[in-house]
Amino acid sequence: MHDVHREITRWLEPLGATVRVDAVGNVRAFYNANETPASTVLIGSHLDTVPNAGAFDGTLGVVLAIACLEALEGEKLPYAIEVVGFSEEEGVRFAVPFIGSRALVGGVDDHLLGAEDARGISVRKAIEDFGLDPCKVGQAAMYPETCAYLEFHIEQGPVLEKLGLPLAAVEAIAGQSRWELNFLGRANHAGTTPMDLRFDAVAAAAEWITLVEQFAKTTPGVVATVGSVETKPGATNIIAGEARLSLDVRHADDRDRKRAVESLIQQAKQVAERRGLEVRSTERLSQRAVAMDAFLTSQIEEAIRQTGCTPRRMISGAGHDAMILAEKIPAAMIFLRTPGGISHDPAESVVVGDVAKAIECGVHLLHQLASAPTFHSRTCRA
């Protein structure tokens, strides 16, 4: 990541931007306005990714922000622009997503700094090991005059490809719940324990996983995933006494999402009770659904139209830094088509022509905002 920050700095400084890395590892580049005082528009995405990742999730949004700045060719606008490359959006290392963007809205507290990775290293210690000062996290807050956040991102799904469209305006981001469930049975010898005398945690987990899939398939708007299964003792000749699973549930309506979670946890309890096991459930994340700013979304639609493309509105099933920034300031997103709908995988790709359209869209958008009479008077929401 140090190498990435150096490379991004090498791109940005010749454009007239002042670059720094804040206390949670976000790279920040400030491009001045043509007048003082001025509001500031944030444009960015995240630089971290997942195991066995593709090349475009998050990173493309940062590169596109830089490309839009470059396309201005030194032109100054009535507002300043801050390009941001967020750290720790995915939540892979510490099981806490959006650490970088949380810092901009004052959401990194002592509890979060104390969260530990699988090796027992805390967020605070990781910041120190990276060469930064966790005591200065408060200084990562966005500038008070910041009035909007814009994010380019690949769709990570098949909708735009199916429609034959390169770009879309995101009107909302679905809420998501993350839970951990532990089925607790009794470990025993795989060869000597009769089938009717077993308390197999893996068998219980497998039954419940099937119920999760059936529920999501038959409940409109719900997507539910068991993405991680850990068994103990984890040997081929031992009946597992414990199975630890993740549950990820998403829906555009928070009430429906919460009802779905309640139903799935109740089904886990029923499976465990029927099999003579115990199940424990722990909530890891409850992220509400977030609507994108109506004014910015309409401006994105117009910018897409200016590129000669047909505008389209979409709901994002994936979480993004935009949902965190939307807690404080107006936020909006532009999706790019993802061939095959494949993401979080090395096969992830984009169409070069779509990227060109995205840059064109971004430049139109920046100029539209520059000429919008009410835009510059916008202030942060408390």
pLDDT tens profile 272-323:
999 999 999 999 889 899 999 999 999 999 999 999 999 999 999 888 999 9
For the chain, what are the domain ranges?
2-174+289-377, 175-287
pLDDT tens for 108-142 read 999 999 999 999 999 999 999 999 999 999 999 99
User: Which distant-in-sequence residues (6+ apart) come within 8 Å of 292 by Cβ?
Assistant: 169, 170, 171, 172, 173, 322, 326, 331, 332, 333
User: Which distant-in-sequence residues (6+ apart) come within 8 Å of 203 by Cβ?
Assistant: 275
pLDDT tens for 145-177 read 999 999 999 999 999 999 999 999 999 999 999
Give backbone dihedrals phi and psi of 367, rounded to 5 degrees, phi first: -75, -35
- Tell me the two tokens of residue 140: 């990562």
List Cα–Cα distances, 133 to 8, 39, 74, 140, 299, in angstroms. 21, 28, 33, 11, 39
How many residues would you count in the chain? 382
* Among 148, 184, 205, 96, CA closest to 322: 148
Amino acid at 93: R
Contact 202, 240 (CB under 8 A): yes
Give the end-to-end CA distance of the chain in Å, rounded to a whole number: 32
pLDDT tens for 219-258 read 999 999 999 999 999 999 999 999 999 999 999 899 999 9
CA distance 164 to 313: 14
* Topology adopted by domain 2-174+289-377: Aminopeptidase (3.40.630)
CA distance 227 to 209: 10
CATH 3.30.70.360 fits 175-287, yes or no: yes
Contact 251, 257 (CB under 8 A): yes
